[in-house]
């Protein structure tokens, strides 16, 4: 039994195995209906319990479909209906019950502390479906999408991130170390990633460069990522932050500096990207969203010790 909390704790070998398993499983499902199970039915009889303390569309749908295709079932808990959220049951007792009734738990939360407690207390795999500091299932899936579209190992590509230093970027930084790819980050001064994370990346031979100029950051890039300037529950002065990021919008002018690049966005989107880029040929956002299903299936198999 293995947890999937953040990319930095997982070996390169296992991360690559998850990607190759996802490639194989996706190829084997050509012309198969959404809810039809994979032939080997690897998680037959298993229950994935999921809970979202913050909004979600894609993560919710993709985990539901993922476990179904593996022949298991899913149950989504509403946090407002649990005793836990009303302070009437402890986190530890809740974890014990979820561990006894279910076979895996996927949590989207606003609390790293909750994840820390749960990973010690749960006796079934815990999957981080987005926390304040990480969004690991998203980024692993995005690596799959990039390699699928570019038909190259990500280690041979240059990736650019334009925008806020948030949970998605943190996971991308961890991925750049694990998969050894060049990562250019374009963000305003005072919005750089945390020093602690950058120190860890440097100590682990990262190929990360930070620019306070978006054009320099995307020059000759193969992939341009962005995300909302203001994330869920981001407690900031909205107007100030949006103003500070004005020069970091992904628009056609910016994309002229990397004509062969694809554009990716985890979604939902805001004003950080123009419609023109978002709906352009360079944009692969819908394929990106759908691939969450395939990679999360292999993440589930990794957690259950069933990766081929
Ligand atoms: N990208 C992503 O995690 O989307 P949701 O917030 O809709 O799950
Ligand atoms: N950074 C965004 C990602 C949403 C999927 C957020 O945390 O709101």
Q: 108 and 147 share a domain?
A: no
pLDDT of residue 86: 92
Average pLDDT, integer, range 31-36: 95
Classified as helix, coil or strand, 131 is: coil
C-alpha distance from residue 214 to each of 52, 163, 170, 176, 247 (Å): 34, 9, 18, 19, 7
Q: Does ligand 2 come within 6 angstroms of the Cβ of 167? A: yes
Residue 16 shares a structural domain with residue 111: yes
108, 222, 282, 288: which one is catalytic?
A: 108
Can 135 be counted among the known catalytic residues? yes
CATH number at residue 169: 3.40.50.1370
The bound ligand whose nearest atom lies closest to the alpha carbon of 227 is 2
C-beta of 134 in contact with ligand 2 (< 6 A) = no
Q: Could you say which ligand is closest to the alpha carbon of residue 58?
A: 1
Q: Is a pLDDT exceeding 90 seen at residue 58?
A: yes
Domain co-membership, 125 together with 164: no
pLDDT digits (tens, 9 = 90+) for 74-104: 999 999 999 999 999 999 999 999 999 999 9
Average pLDDT of 37-59? 98
The closest alpha carbon to 69, from 103, 50, 42, 51, belongs to 42
80 in active site: no
Q: What is residue 256's predicted lDDT score, i.e. its pLDDT?
A: 97
Shortest-distance Cα residue to atom 1 of ligand 1? 266
pLDDT, one tens digit per residue, over 295-307 is 999 999 999 999 9
Q: Rounded distance, CA 72 to CA 13, Å?
A: 26
Residue 308 pLDDT greater than 90, yes or no: no
Residues 160 and 245 grouped into a single domain: yes
Domain count within the chain: 2
Of the chain, the percentage scoring pLDDT greater than 90 comes to 99
Residue 142 contacts residue 105 (beta carbons within 8 Å): no
Confidence of residue 283 (pLDDT cuts 50, 70, 90): very high
Q: Are residues 145 and 127 in the same domain?
A: no
**Mean pLDDT score of the chain, rounded to an integer?**
97
Q: For residues 188 and 231, state if they share a domain.
A: yes
Q: What is the pTM of this model?
A: 0.98
HSE-up of 92 (CA within 13 Å, CB side)? 3
CA distances from 90 to 94, 114, 128 (A): 6, 11, 20
For residue 50, the surrounding DSSP H or E stretch is strand 47-52
Closest ligand, as measured to the CA of 270: 2
In a domain, 275, yes or no: yes
Backbone angles phi, psi at 225, to 5 degrees: -110, 150
249 catalytic residue (yes or no): no
User: Known catalytic residue: 227?
Assistant: yes
Rounded Cα distance, 93 and 75, in Å = 19
41 CA distance to ligand 2 middle (Å): 32
pLDDT one-digit tens code per residue, 148-187: 999 999 999 999 999 999 999 999 999 999 999 999 999 9
**Active site includes 292?**
yes
Mean pLDDT of 262-267: 98
Q: Is the pLDDT of residue 109 over 90?
A: yes
Give the phi and the psi of residue 5 in degrees, each rounded to 5.
-105, -50
- Report how far ligand 2's centroid is from the alpha carbon of 38 (Å): 30
Asked if the model's pLDDT at residue 207 lies above 90, the reply is yes
Residue 128 lies in a domain: yes
Q: Containing domain of residue 102, as a range?
A: 7-135+292-303
Give whole-number Cα distances, 306 to 4, 10, 23, 78, 259, in Å: 14, 16, 16, 29, 41
CA distance 269 to 137: 18
Mean pLDDT across 36-50? 98
CB 283 within 8 A of CB 6: no
Q: b/e map of 89-123 (b: 16 or more CB within 10 Å)?
A: eeeeebbeebbeebbbbbbbbeeeebbeebeebbe
Ligand 1 neighbour 56 (Cβ under 6 A): yes
Looking at the structure, tell me whether residues 13 and 99 fall in a common domain: yes
Instruction: Report yes or no on 308 lying in a domain.
Output: no
Furthest CA-CA distance within the chain: 56
Residue 288, pLDDT > 90, answer yes
Any ligand 2 atom below 6 A from CB of 229? no
Can you point out the beta strands (E) in 238-302?
A: 262-265
Is there an atom of ligand 2 within 6 Å of 60 CB? no
Question: Based on the domain organization, do 164 and 271 belong to the same domain?
Answer: yes
> How many percent of the chain have pLDDT more than 70?
100
- Catalytic entry in 25, 50, 58, 138: 138
**Which residues, including other chains, have CB under 8 Å from residue 205's CB and lie 6 or more apart?**
177, 180
Same domain, 43 and 183: no
Separation of CA 39 and ligand 2 centre (Å) = 34
Name the one residue in this structure whose structure tokens are 């999957």.
Answer: 127
Q: Is the CB of 266 under 6 A from ligand 1?
A: yes
Q: Within this chain, do residues 33 and 172 fall inside the same structural domain, yes or no?
A: no
Q: Same domain, yes or no, for 124 and 166?
A: no
Range list of β-strands (E), 187-258: 207-211, 223-226
Quick one: residue 205, left, alpha or beta (phi over 0 = left, psi -120 to 50 = alpha)? left
Instruction: Kindly state whether residues 143 and 276 are assigned to the same domain.
Output: yes
Average pLDDT estimate for 253-264: 98
């Amino acid at each position: 039994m293995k947890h999937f909390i953040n990319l930095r704790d997982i070996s390169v070998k296992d991360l690559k195995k998850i990607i190759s398993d996802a490639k194989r499983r996706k190829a084997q499902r050509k012309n198969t209906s959404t809810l039809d199970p994979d032939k080997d039915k690897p998680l037959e009889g298993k229950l994935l319990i999921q809970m979202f303390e913050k909004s979600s569309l894609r993560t919710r749908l993709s985990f539901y479909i993922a476990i179904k295709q593996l022949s298991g079932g899913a149950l989504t808990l509403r946090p407002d209906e649990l005793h836990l959220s009303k302070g009437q049951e402890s986190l530890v007792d809740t974890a014990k019950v979820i561990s006894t009734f279910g076979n895996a738990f996927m949590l989207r939360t606003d609390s790293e502390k909750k994840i820390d407690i749960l990973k010690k207390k749960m006796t079934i795999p815990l999957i981080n479906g987005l926390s304040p500091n990480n969004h690991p299932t998203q980024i692993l899936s995005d690596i799959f999408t990039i390699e699928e579209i570019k038909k190259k190992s990500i280690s041979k590509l240059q990736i650019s991130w334009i925008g806020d230093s948030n949970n998605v970027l943190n996971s991308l930084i961890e991925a750049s170390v694990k998969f050894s790819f060049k990562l250019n980050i374009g963000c305003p001064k005072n919005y750089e990633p945390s020093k602690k994370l950058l120190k860890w990346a440097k100590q682990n031979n990262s190929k990360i460069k930070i620019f306070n100029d978006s054009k320099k950051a995307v020059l000759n890039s193969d992939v341009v990522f962005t995300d909302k300037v203001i994330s869920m529950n981001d407690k900031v002065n909205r107007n100030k932050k949006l103003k500070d990021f004005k020069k970091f919008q992904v628009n056609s002018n910016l994309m002229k500096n990397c004509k062969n690049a694809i554009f990716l966005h985890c979604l939902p989107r805001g004003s950080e990207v123009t419609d023109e880029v978002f709906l352009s040929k360079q944009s692969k956002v819908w394929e990106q969203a759908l691939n969450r299903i395939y990679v999360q299936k292999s993440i589930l198999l990794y957690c259950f010790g069933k990766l081929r």
